[in-house]
């Protein structure tokens, strides 16, 4: 998976642009961020009020893009069409999305 593939899949799955940033200048609090490090690796960060909930360094673009896609799809509030009532049916929808992309369930 490439960065362009990731962007396509995020749009296709109705993920808000503000939920997932690719190569931002800085990692923004409360947003899943994909960064490229100086040594060519990729870092995925999500911090919440100063606590790093996700801080993963990955070796390849493919690994990083798959990781970001899985995290973005895992949380229903990342969707543009999110409604509070979605939480009641999310487990089944999430399982369907994880299977679609070949991700293992958490």
Chain center to CA of 98: 12
Measured between alpha carbons, how far is 76 from 81 in angstroms, rounded to an integer?
9
Q: What is the pTM of this model?
A: 0.90
Strands 51-58 and 42-48 come out as antiparallel
Give me the pLDDT at residue 106, please: 59
Helix (H, G, I), strand (E, B) or coil at 55: strand
Mean pLDDT taken over the chain: 92
Give me the pLDDT at residue 51, please: 82
Give me the pLDDT at residue 49, please: 81
The answer to whether 99 touches 92, Cβ cutoff 8 Å, is no
CB atoms within 10 A of CB 30: 11
Length of the chain (residues):
106
Q: So where are the chain's domains?
A: 3-100
Q: Residues 37-88: pLDDT tens digits?
A: 999 999 999 988 878 888 999 999 999 999 999 999 999 999 999 999 988 9
Measured between alpha carbons, how far is 53 from 30 in angstroms, rounded to an integer?
10
């Amino acid at each position: 998976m490439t960065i362009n593939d990731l962007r396509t899949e995020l749009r296709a799955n109705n993920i808000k642009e503000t939920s997932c940033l690719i190569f931002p200048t800085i990692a923004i609090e409360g947003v899943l961020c994909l960064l490229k490090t100086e040594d060519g690796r990729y870092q995925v960060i999500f911090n919440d009020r100063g606590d790093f909930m996700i801080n993963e360094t990955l070796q390849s673009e493919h690994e990083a893009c798959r990781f970001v896609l899985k995290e973005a799809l895992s949380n229903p509030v990342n969707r543009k069409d999110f409604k509070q009532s979605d939480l009641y049916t999310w487990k089944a929808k999430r399982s369907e999305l994880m299977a679609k992309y070949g991700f293992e369930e958490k």
